[in-house]
A and B are shown apart, each in its own frame.
Chain A
């Protein structure tokens, strides 16, 4: 690694800080705008009355002024303490750490499927813009993205699990009867392979299929559309035109064009990945997927502020990390892009 790369990364990391601070403030404020009182929610035990609610408020620190509460929250955050979740009874940091890999795995799976199907279609469409094939591809992709994820998910469960028995049970990441592999990456599919446990691998991979497919349908339209756009631009560039004029074989022209379209494609995948991470909330719910999205939703329904705040912060951090990665990859894919912040 050379010095300019390191300083580039450092500078980029510094630009992430305002995003994280902004996210912290915003989520804190929005959560405090919620009319729900966590103490009243918690005081659901038999006979708990106003005095107990007041005591709970004091215990949770909700009786202090907002700036003081925010100060305490920020101070705890700096020490890696995200607070405690009422719903799970665990520290939020622990919950998020355990659940984040599941969400990332699902988003990766969805993106992979979308890329495998969407990119070739997008490239093919770009080669013949305006053709019937082009129109059909676009229409198909739009149709896939036009249905809410939960409908697709429930429909896939009905068809592939209930009726046809193709897919395993839609309840979580791995068959509960199997012992999960030792956590290395947190991605069960990879961890089970690393552990050489093929039964666990088959189970984990099988359970990935339906939820990933649901996510992929959603991502298919943007992947195809942007691949097509990037390729159309690349194919129209002077350098491809000259290659063509020089009579280079089509295969080679296509390869040059793809290399040329690399940076926009990487940027697109980064964007879609971050978006999927926030958007897979409902899909996680349908497939009982132990991810952070379902966790945040449960938290919102239970006035579990720390859980929701933690979730939003983590997604913002992942978003920033993905952006950084995208910048680095773009620099690698397209040396013309200067490394300036």
Chain B
């Protein structure tokens, strides 16, 4: 059941990102002040926002912003993190110690504030939000991969590969990393959820995508200010979709974990 539901959710979100604009009932950018802050109805499933834009259409369109952004951030940090972590774990020695120190320092940082500072330093754009998200996730990958590789480098099959004359690059890339792929996959799917949440946190304090581009975090944080005056729908629709997205990513992580590690799937 779990495999089925996570696959279904994943498919749903991919479909949203690809077909969203085509099936959206309204132009997500078109404002109509006469229709501002209308409650959900047959015409506007999620209601309208303060500029009379259709919240449902904007939520659909936001999948095209958020999913690629989260994916890009995670791909970036996992690529760098896995390479650095694997090199350190495999080679050990002075490099490992120094990288370990740097990672220790990074882990000690209040990561959200570092992300805010990075976006402020690099300039306020979606690209830089992606970069900042990638940077703050980096230490987790390095630490994880380093530990896993270090634990495996003396194992029999690695020794065998080495005796067979395989180079270090081959051993890391073809032997060790495929072996820890399940662990990385779990981390990636968890990180996808974090990446979306991080983007939304940045939106809350005004950093992130350029208006009027729809983005889940921005939609939710815009909507939050209407909660008190009773216009709960501005935040509700995007919140539900955001929760569903983070939920889906985590579920996929769990599924991947179960699929790849035979011991816990017993």
Contact = CB atoms under 8 A, between A and B. Distances in A.
Touch test A–B (CB under 8 Å)? yes
Interface of A: 18-19, 22-23, 26, 30-31, 33-36, 135, 138-139, 142-143, 145-151, 154-155, 157-158, 162, 221, 232, 274-275, 277-279, 281-282, 285, 293, 296-297, 300, 308, 311-312, 315-316, 319-320
Interface stretch (B15-23, B39-47, B116-124, B169-177): B116-124
B254 to A, nearest CB: 7
Interface in B208-266: 217, 220-221, 224-225, 227-228, 235, 239, 242-247, 250-251, 254, 264
A315 B247 CA distance: 29
Contact of B117 (A34, A147, A232, A316): A34
Interface in B2-31: 2
Contacts of B128: none
A293 B108 contact: no
A146 B112 contact: no
Interface stretch (B50-58, B71-79, B84-92, B97-105): B97-105
Nearest to B116: A300
Contacts of B116: 297, 300
A282 B204 contact: yes
Contacts of A148: 197, 200-201, 204, 217, 220-221, 242
B204 to A, nearest CB: 5
27 contacts: A18-B105, A22-B105, A31-B117, A34-B117, A35-B121, A135-B2, A143-B243, A146-B243, A147-B239, A148-B200, A151-B221, A154-B227, A154-B228, A158-B227, A158-B228, A278-B111, A278-B112, A279-B110, A281-B110, A282-B204, A285-B205, A293-B110, A297-B113, A312-B110, A312-B114, A315-B109, A320-B108
Contacts of A274: 108
A297 B224 CA distance: 19
Which of the listed residues A30, A146, A155, A297 has the most CB atoms from chain B within 10 Å of its own CB? A146
Contacts of B121: 30, 33-35
Nearest to B228: A158
A67 B201 CA distance: 34
Which of the listed residues A31, A232, A279 has the most CB atoms from chain B within 10 Å of its own CB? A279
A23 B225 CA distance: 36
Contacts of A300: 113, 116-117, 120
Interface residues of B, number: 44
A232 B205 CA distance: 40
A311 to B, nearest CB: 7
B112 A279 contact: yes
B81 interface: no
B185 interface: no
Interface of B: 2, 101-102, 104-105, 107-114, 116-118, 120-121, 123, 193, 197, 200-201, 204-205, 217, 220-221, 224-225, 227-228, 235, 239, 242-247, 250-251, 254, 264
B110 A277 contact: yes
Contact of A26 (B105, B123, B204): B105
Contacts of A282: 112, 201, 204-205
Nearest to A275: B111
A19 B108 contact: yes
Interface class of chain A by DSSP:
helix
B247 A142 contact: yes
Given A23-B109, A315-B110, A319-B108, 9 more contacts: A138-B254, A142-B250, A145-B246, A151-B221, A278-B109, A282-B204, A296-B110, A296-B113, A316-B108
Contacts of B107: 319
Contacts of B264: 232
Contacts of B117: 30-31, 34, 300, 308
Given A138-B254, A146-B246, A320-B108, A30 B118 contact: yes
B191 to A, nearest CB: 13
B204 A150 contact: yes
A23 B110 contact: no
Nearest to B105: A22
Contacts of B235: 151
Contacts of B224: 150-151, 154
B247 A143 contact: yes
Contacts of A145: 246
Given A36-B120, A278-B112, A293-B113, A19 B104 contact: yes
Contact of B109 (A155, A293, A316): A316
Contact of B242 (A147, A308, A311): A147
A18 B100 CA distance: 11
Nearest to B251: A142
Contacts of B243: 143, 146-147
A22 B100 CA distance: 12
